[in-house]
């Protein structure tokens, strides 16, 4: 008996049996009927995703540029590391992660300085990048945050693709060595990028005391991010264990000293005209903490990240170069 009539007799006349067909059986039937070519894949392939796990140097180098315009500070700090060509090659797709989560102006210090972002876009394109993508899952309304932060306009003018993330593009990623999290949804464009560059701003945070590079990775996460705030130190490091940028450039052109993460009062902002660049995100955050007079060992998430071998937090073991 032809398969079609067999299927019709055995399943279509008994809808309850059809409803409990396993996914595998269902796909087998479609394949036999010749329909599978027209069915989109149910789940994306994990093999193509590029997570950024890698070992760290025991004595990492940080390059710190002070006193100057933001674009100049970026160029000096990146040049100290060997130039953007060390990280970006011809034809690469680069994802940049600024903080553009808040409906605040650049002077209020809640988001990454747009001049810093624009200069990194230019450096990536000069190094041969095919595409430079800039986006963030904002906390305030997305359109207003993109516009008022100044980041979207500056990045576009420099040549970046700037867009809003879409719910359907978050993909569940396993966290093999997670302490609190076994999997979490991460934006697919991040996973498929050739290069990930983290561009946090340095500011106070009511939960973690400061928000720097590691916490900035939350802008790429799906699901209910509020759940990460419980047992935060372990959970954010779970995320960092599978999502590690090749380069972190900390915007410390100004510090939001109080009322973070969104601020709003110009009296809470201190301009220090500093940019820090490094390949060890823990080391970058350790230096960033010192700008607030905080010992890195007093920050639970940095202690946790160091314990798991994600980077160095002892400033005495970090080679700090002024450029």
pLDDT in tens, 7-23: 333 433 433 333 333 44
SS3 65: strand
Asked whether residue 106 falls in the same domain as residue 28, the answer is no
39 pLDDT more than 90: no
Could you tell me which residues come within 8 angstroms of residue 202 by beta carbon, excluding any fewer than 6 positions away? Answer: 210, 212, 250, 251, 252, 255, 256, 288, 291, 292
Closest CA to 211 of 74, 97, 87, 132: 97
What is the distance between the alpha carbons of residues 59 and 280, in angstroms, rounded to a whole number? 10
Any domain includes 221? yes
pLDDT score, position 178:
95
pTM of the model: 0.84
CATH number at residue 153: 3.40.50.11440
Asked whether residue 243 falls in the same domain as residue 108, the answer is yes
pLDDT score, position 31:
40
Residue with the bigger pLDDT between 260 and 189: it is 189
Closest CA to 301 of 251, 250, 241, 247: 241
Asked whether residue 89 falls in the same domain as residue 211, the answer is yes
120 pLDDT more than 80: yes
pLDDT score, position 7:
33
Asked whether residue 249 falls in the same domain as residue 102, the answer is yes
Asked whether residue 183 falls in the same domain as residue 264, the answer is yes
Any domain includes 27? yes
What is the distance between the alpha carbons of residues 70 and 66, in angstroms, rounded to a whole number? 9
What is the distance between the alpha carbons of residues 164 and 83, in angstroms, rounded to a whole number? 29
Give 57-86 pLDDT, tens digit per residue: 777 999 999 999 999 999 999 999 999 999
Number of domains in the chain: 2
Asked whether residue 109 falls in the same domain as residue 233, the answer is yes
Q: What is the mean pLDDT of residues 100-122?
A: 97
pLDDT band for position 55 (cuts 50, 70, 90): low
197 pLDDT more than 80: yes
Residue with the bigger pLDDT between 5 and 173: it is 173
Asked whether residue 31 falls in the same domain as residue 139, the answer is no
SS3 274: strand
Any domain includes 271? yes
Any domain includes 198? yes
Domain range for residue 26? 3-38
Asked whether residue 72 falls in the same domain as residue 32, the answer is no
Asked whether residue 16 falls in the same domain as residue 83, the answer is no
Any domain includes 281? yes
pLDDT band for position 164 (cuts 50, 70, 90): very high
Q: What is the mean pLDDT of residues 138-148?
A: 97
Query: What share of the chain in percent tops pLDDT 70?
Result: 83
Asked whether residue 23 falls in the same domain as residue 149, the answer is no
Any domain includes 142? yes
Asked whether residue 15 falls in the same domain as residue 109, the answer is no
Any domain includes 54? no
pLDDT band for position 1 (cuts 50, 70, 90): very low
Asked whether residue 192 falls in the same domain as residue 247, the answer is yes
pLDDT score, position 59:
79
What is the distance between the alpha carbons of residues 83 and 318, in angstroms, rounded to a whole number? 20
pLDDT band for position 50 (cuts 50, 70, 90): low
pLDDT band for position 53 (cuts 50, 70, 90): low
**Tokens in use for 115?**
């001049």
Any domain includes 46? no
């Amino acid at each position: 008996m032809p398969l079609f009539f067999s299927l019709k007799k055995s399943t279509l006349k008994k809808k309850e049996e059809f409803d409990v067909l396993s996914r595998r059986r269902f796909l087998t039937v479609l394949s036999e009927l010749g329909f599978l070519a027209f069915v989109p894949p149910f789940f994306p392939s994990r093999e193509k995703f590029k997570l950024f796990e890698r070992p760290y140097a025991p004595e990492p180098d940080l390059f710190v540029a002070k006193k100057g315009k933001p674009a100049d500070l970026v160029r000096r700090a990146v040049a100290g590391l060997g130039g953007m060509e060390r990280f970006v090659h011809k034809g690469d797709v680069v994802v940049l992660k600024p903080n553009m989560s808040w409906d605040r102006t650049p002077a209020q210090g809640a988001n990454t300085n747009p001049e810093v972002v624009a200069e990194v876009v230019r450096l990536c394109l000069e190094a041969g990048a095919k595409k430079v993508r800039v986006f963030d899952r904002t906390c305030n309304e997305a359109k207003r945050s993109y516009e008022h932060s100044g980041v979207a306009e500056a990045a576009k003018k420099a040549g970046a693709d700037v867009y809003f993330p879409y719910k359907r593009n978050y993909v569940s990623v396993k966290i093999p060595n997670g302490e609190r999290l076994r999997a979490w949804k991460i934006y697919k464009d991040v996973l498929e990028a050739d290069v990930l560059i983290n561009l946090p701003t340095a500011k106070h945070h009511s939960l973690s005391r400061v928000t720097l590079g590691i916490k900035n990775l939350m802008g790429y996460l799906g699901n209910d991010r509020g759940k990460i705030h419980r047992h935060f130190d372990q959970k954010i490091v779970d995320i960092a264990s599978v999502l590690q940028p090749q380069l972190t450039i900390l915007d410390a052109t100004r510090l939001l000293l109080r009322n973070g993460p969104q601020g709003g009062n110009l009296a809470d902002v201190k301009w220090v005209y500093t940019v820090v660049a490094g390949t060890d995100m823990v080391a970058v955050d350790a230096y960033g903490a010192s700008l607030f007079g905080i010992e890195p060992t007093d920050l639970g998430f940095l202690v946790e990240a160091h314990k798991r071998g994600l980077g160095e937090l002892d400033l005495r073991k970090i080679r700090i170069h002024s450029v």
